Structure 1
C-alpha cells in the first residue's frame, strides 16, 4: 500500500507543480511586460518634453554634412540629459546619421536608419525595441520618436535604458515565487500524504494481518472500528481468523500429540509413500541411521545409499505391499543389529498409500543374550573344574586312598584348596551381582589416603615378600578424598594383589598418587599401579575388564584368580564416578590408572 500512497502523493504534487509553474511564468511575463511598458511610456514622455524644451541647433552646413561643432554640441547636451534622466540619449538625423550620443562618439557610430526602433518610429510615430547592447554588455530598451524643427533639426530622439532593474525584479519575483511554490509543495505533500494515508492505512493494516495469518500467526486480528466497507472487510477477516484458529488448534494439538509419540518412541519409524518418497522419519530413526529428516523427507528411499541392504529391503516391501520382517546389521560406523518390521498402509477404499517401517535396535538385547549365555558357560566351566577335582580326589579317598595317611592328607589339602577356590568364585559372583544391581549402596566419607594405603601395604607385604617383590607407595601426606572406604580398599587390594601375582620374583610394584584439575575445573585424584610383570598383549587390552576373561588362563588358575577381580574393580570405580584404564607392554609391565573425583557430587544409589 505504501507505494500506492506515495504515487498518489506524487501525482497531486505534479499537478500542483504544473499549475504553480504555469502561474509563475504568466506572472513573470506580465510583470516584465508591464515594467517594460511603463519604462517605454516614461521614456516617450521624456522625448516629448525634450522636443518642446531642448534648444536645437541647425545641423547641416553649406555642404549638408554636420560639422564637428554640431557633433560636440549634441553629444555634450546628450550627456547632460542622460545624467538627468538616467538613460542613454541619442540624436539621429532623418537619414540615420548619429549626431549626438551620451555614451559614445557619434562619429564612430554606424548609421541607425535600419535600427528596429527607428524604422518603427518612421512608420508609426513611435518605435521601441529590446536588444543586447554590445557597448554596455546588457539588455537595453530603446524608444525613439521623430522630432521636426524646421531649419534646426529633422530626425529622431532616442532614449535607451538598461533592463537590469527589470530583470532583477523578475529574478526576485521568481525567487519569491519559487520559495512560495516550495512551501506550497511541502504543505501539499503533507496534506496529500495525509489524505492518501487515511485511505490506504486501513488497507495496509488489513494486508499486514492477512500476511501474518498466511505466515501461521493465527492470533493476528484486524480490529477496525469503522462503519464503512473497509470496516466490514476487517470484521470478515477477523471472523475467518477466529474460525481458522479454532480448527488449526485442534489440528495442532493432534499433531503435537502425534509428534510427541513419534519423538519419544524407543524404536525408529520410517514412512515411505506409494511413489517411493520418504514421508516421515522420527528422531530415533534419525539417530539410528545417522540421517537428517529435514533433508530426507520428500526424497526417494534410494537416497539411503550408505545403508544399501536397508534401502533394498524398503524397496522390496513397497513392491510386495505386504508385511515383512527381517534383521540387518548396520555399520554406522560401529555395527548395530536392527530388527525391521514393514506394514503396508491402505485406506478404507483399499487405496495403497505406502509402507510404514518400524526399526528396533536389538544390539543390546542380542548382546545381553550372548553375555548371559557366555556367563552361564563361564560359570559352569569355572565351577566344573574345582567340583571335578573335589569329586575325583574324594572318589580316590573312598576307593582306599584314605588308608595311606600321607596320600590322604595331600588329597584332603587339594580338596580344601579347591573348595576355597570354589568359595571365592561364588563369593565374587555374588559380589559382582550385588554391585551391578546396585543393591549395595556406597557410604561416602573423608579418607586420609596415606594411612589408608599403609593398611593395604601391611595386608599385602607378606605376599610381596614371598616373591621378593619391592612394594613402593608414593602418597602425599596431606591428601584427603571422599569415597566409600571399604569399596576403595577392595579396588586397590585387587589391583595391587594382581600386580604382585603377575610380577616375577624380584620385581617391583609401585603405587603413585597425585592430584590434578580437569579441563572442567574439577579436582580429581590419579592412582597409578605399575608393575614389572609379564604384561598384557595389545589384542587383549580391550577385554581385560570383562568377566572371566583371562590373558593367561593357566597362570590365572595357578594364582587362584577367579577372572572377576578386574570386572569388580571397573564397576566399583564407575560407582565412584571415576574411570579405570590400562597401558601395558609384554615382558615390560603394566600400569593401571584409576581416575576418581576428590569430592563426590552425588551419592551413588
Structure 2
C-alpha cells in the first residue's frame, strides 16, 4: 500500500501541474488575444476619426506638397494618438509618416496589413520593429477621398504593455503552481492514506461477489468517494441478483415458448446426445421428456428413417428435409427438418442440430378431401349429363315418333337438367361462401315476421305430403343478420326436414332468446328445426356437414338433393359467428340447433 500511496500522490501532483499549465497557456492566449483585439478596434476607430476630421481639400496637387502636408498632419496626429501614423497612396507610395521622411521609405504595397486592407477593407499585422526593437501592431484602412486622396491610412502601436502583462501573469501562475504542488502533495498523501484502509474491504467483497456470493456486502460508513465506491459495490451485488432473476425469467419465457410451439423440437449435441425436447415433440413421439433427455438419439426407439436422418445431419452438418411416417403412438406423416447449429457462424464450432417436426397429417387430410371433392363433383355432374345424353340419343334413334315415350323421355331430360342446374348453383354458392367473396350485409331483422314469411314459402311443398309445418317465434324479437343468408339457412333445413319426413309427419321451427341479462336483454338467439323423419345414424352424424356426403344415397337422389345443402348451412352459420349441432334418432326424427349472436362487430 505504500507504493500505492506514492504513486497516487505523484499522479495527483502531475495532474494538478498539467491542469494549471494548460489553464495558464489558455489564459495567456486569451489575455493577449483580447488586448490585441481591443487595440485593433481602437486604432480602427482612430483611423476613421482621422479620415473624417482631416482637411483633405488642403492637400496639394503636387507630390511634394502632398508629402509636406500629410507628414505634418501625421506628426500632429501621432502626438495626440500616441501611435505612428502613415499615409500610403493606392500604389504603395508613402506620402506621409510621423516617424520617417516619406522619400526614404520603401513601397508599402506588399506589406501584409496593406494587402489585407485591400482585400477585406481592414488589415492588421504584428511585426518586429528593427528600429524600436519591439513588436508592433499595424492596422490599415483603405481611404477614398476623390480627387484629394486615394490610398490607406495606417497606425502602428507598440504591444510591449500587453507582453509585459502576460509575463506578469505567468509569474503569478508559476508561483501559484509551486504553492499548489506543495498543498497537493500533502493532500494527496492524506487521501492515499484514507483510501488504502477501506480498499482492502472492497477488494475482499469484490472477490466474494466474483464467486457468485451476492449476499456479501461492504461495511463502510464513510460518505466520501470510498464510501460511495462501497455503496456502488453493494448496488452492483443487488443489480447482479436482479439480473440473475431476469435471466431465470427469460429462461422460463423461452421454455414456455418451446412448450407451446405447434412444431416438435429436439436439440441434439455434436456427440449425438439429446439435450432439449419440447412438449409437442413429446406428444408426437409418444415418449416422455425424462426418457429422452441426456440419451443418445440412436437409443430412442423410433422409426428407422428419422434416426437415419438425424445421423446424416450430424455427419454432413447441413440442412436436411424429408417426410417421415411414424406409427406410434398413432400414424402420423411428419415433415422433418434437420438444421445444423454453429456458434458465432463458425463452421469449426459445431453446436449440434435442431430437429423440427411438423405434423402434416391434417394437411394431407385436407388435400385428400379436396381430391374427393373434385371426384364427387365429376361424378355428380356425370350422372345427369349421361342421363340427358342417353335419353336424347334414344329420341334421336326413333323414339320421338311415339308420343308417350317421347313425353316420358323429355320429362326425364328436363328433371335431370334441373338437377344439374341445382348442383351447379350449389357448387357456385358454396365456392363463394368459402372464399368470402360475397361479404355479409348485417342489418336488424324482426324475426317473428321474417321466419313466418320464410317458412310460408315451403307450405305448399309440405302440403303435398300432408306434413304439419309449425312455427314458434316470440314477437318483438330482433337480431343483426344478413337476411338473405339467414333465409337460406332456414329454407335449406326446413326443406330437408320435409324431404326426409314421411307423409303426415311434423316439422317444427322454434326460435328463442338466450343468455338473458338482468336488464332483460339477450346476447344470443337459438333456432331449432326439428322433424319426425327417418333420422340419421349415429355413425354418420360427424360427417353430415361434409360436401356431397349422403346418409341414404338412393333416397337423396330420388329427392333431388345435391349433397351440398348442409355444407352451405354450416359455412353460413360460421359466417354469422354462430354454432350448429345436430341431434338425431333413427325412426324418431332429427333436430338442428343453431345459436348466433344478436349483435355483430362490423
TM-score (norm 2): 0.54
| Match of residue 498 from structure 1 | 496
CA distance in 2, matches of 1:466, 1:213: 93
Q: Deviations over 1:538-590 (max 9, x none)?
A: 11011011000000001101101000000000110111111111111111111
CA distance in 2, matches of 1:590, 1:452: 23
Contact 1:531 1:590 in 2 (8 A): yes
Q: Measured at CA, do residues 215 and 513 of structure 1 come closer, stay the same or move farther in structure 2, by a change above 3 Å?
A: farther
CA distance in 2, matches of 1:456, 1:299: 67
| Match of residue 440 from structure 2 | 442
| Match of residue 528 from structure 2 | 528
Matches within 5 A, 1:469-480: 469-480=467-478
Q: Measured at CA, do residues 440 and 296 of structure 1 come closer, stay the same or move farther in structure 2, by a change above 3 Å?
A: farther
Deviation at 1:460, TM superposition (A): 0.4
CA distance in 2, matches of 1:326, 1:519: 53
SS in 2 for 1:309: coil
Matches within 5 A, 1:74-85: none
| Match of residue 410 from structure 2 | 412
Q: Measured at CA, do residues 412 and 573 of structure 1 come closer, stay the same or move farther in structure 2, by a change above 3 Å?
A: same
Q: Measured at CA, do residues 287 and 462 of structure 1 come closer, stay the same or move farther in structure 2, by a change above 3 Å?
A: same
| Match of residue 388 from structure 2 | 390
Q: Deviations over 1:363-414 (max 9, x none)?
A: 2321221011101100000000000001101111121222223322221221
SS in 1 for 2:474: coil
Q: Measured at CA, do residues 555 and 314 of structure 1 come closer, stay the same or move farther in structure 2, by a change above 3 Å?
A: closer
Deviation at 1:270, TM superposition (A): 2.0
Deviation at 1:328, TM superposition (A): 2.5
CA distance in 2, matches of 1:474, 1:428: 29
CA distance in 1, matches of 2:591, 2:523: 22
CA distance in 2, matches of 1:534, 1:426: 28
| Match of residue 302 from structure 2 | 309
Q: Deviations over 1:113-170 (max 9, x none)?
A: xxxxxxxxxxxxxxxxxxxxxxxxxxxxxxxxxxxxxxxxxxxxxxxxxxxxxxxxxx
Matches within 5 A, 1:576-587: 576-587=576-587
Question: Please, which runs of 5 or more residues in structure 1 have no aligned partner?
Answer: 1-198
Contact 1:213 1:241 in 2 (8 A): no
| Match of residue 273 from structure 1 | 269
Q: Measured at CA, do residues 514 and 210 of structure 1 come closer, stay the same or move farther in structure 2, by a change above 3 Å?
A: farther
| Match of residue 122 from structure 2 | none
Deviation at 1:484, TM superposition (A): 0.8
| Match of residue 300 from structure 1 | 295
CA distance in 1, matches of 2:432, 2:385: 24
| Match of residue 110 from structure 1 | none
| Match of residue 336 from structure 2 | 340
Q: Measured at CA, do residues 526 and 261 of structure 1 come closer, stay the same or move farther in structure 2, by a change above 3 Å?
A: closer
Contact 2:310 2:338 in 1 (8 A): no
CA distance in 2, matches of 1:227, 1:361: 63
Deviation at 1:279, TM superposition (A): 3.1
Q: Measured at CA, do residues 271 and 406 of structure 1 come closer, stay the same or move farther in structure 2, by a change above 3 Å?
A: same
Q: Deviations over 1:273-309 (max 9, x none)?
A: 134443345686578669998x78954377998xx53
CA distance in 1, matches of 2:253, 2:511: 54
CA distance in 2, matches of 1:437, 1:407: 45
Please provide the CA RMSD for this pair: 4.8
Question: Please, which runs of 5 or more residues in structure 2 have no aligned partner?
Answer: 1-196
SS in 2 for 1:561: coil
Larger Rg: 1
Contact 2:445 2:480 in 1 (8 A): yes
Q: Measured at CA, do residues 342 and 495 of structure 1 come closer, stay the same or move farther in structure 2, by a change above 3 Å?
A: same
| Match of residue 543 from structure 1 | 543
